[in-house]
Amino acid sequence: MQTILVTGGAGFIGSNFIYYMLGTHDDVRIVNLDALTYAGNLENLRGVELDPRYTFVRGDVRDKAAVDAVFDAYGVDTVVHFAAESHVDRSITNPEIFLSTNILGTGVLLESAKRHWNLRPDDKYCREYRAGVRYLQVSTDEVYGALGKTGMFTEATPLSPNSPYSASKTSADLLVRAYGETYGLPVNITRCSNNYGPYQFPEKLIPLMIRNCLLGKPLPVYGDGMQVRDWLHVRDHCAAIDTVLRKGRVGDVYNVGGNNEKANIEIVRLVLAATGRDESLIRHVQDRPGHDRRYAIDNTKITTELGWAPAYTFERGMSETVQWYLDNTAWVERVVSGEYQNYYDTMYGNV
The whole-angstrom separation of Cα 112 and Cα 117 is 8
In three-state secondary structure terms, 224 is: coil
- Catalogue the E-assigned strands of 169-256: 187-192, 195-196, 219-222, 228-230, 232-233, 253-256
Rounded to the nearest 5 percent, the helix, strand and coil shares of the chain are 45, 20, 35
In three-state secondary structure terms, 165 is: helix
Nearest 5°: the CA angle 233, 231, 11 is 55
The answer to whether 60 contacts ligand NAD (rule: CB under 6 A) is yes
- How many C-beta neighbours within 10 Å does residue 130 have? 12
The one among 143, 147, 221, 318 contacting ligand TYD by CB under 6 A: 221
The whole-angstrom separation of Cα 117 and Cα 120 is 9
Residue 141 designated active-site: yes
The one among 140, 227, 299, 303 contacting ligand NAD by CB under 6 A: 140
Span 70-89, contacts to ligand NAD by CB under 6 A:
82-84, 86
Binding span for ligand TYD by CB under 6 A among 90-98, 113-121, 178-186, 218-226: 218-226
The one among 21, 28, 30, 40 contacting ligand NAD by CB under 6 A: 40
| Minimum gap (Å) between residue 90 Cβ and ligand NAD | 9
Catalytic residue among 34, 60, 85, 141: 141
In whole angstroms, how large is the CA radius of gyration of the chain?
A: 20
The whole-angstrom separation of Cα 166 and Cα 260 is 21
The answer to whether 296 contacts ligand NAD (rule: CB under 6 A) is no
Catalytic residue among 34, 60, 77, 142: 142
The answer to whether 229 contacts ligand TYD (rule: CB under 6 A) is yes
The one among 222, 324, 331, 340 contacting ligand TYD by CB under 6 A: 222
Span 271-290, contacts to ligand TYD by CB under 6 A:
288
Give catalytic residue positions: 141-142, 165
Contacts to ligand NAD by CB under 6 A: 7-8, 10-14, 34-37, 39-40, 60-62, 82-84, 86, 101, 105, 138, 140, 169, 192, 194-195, 201
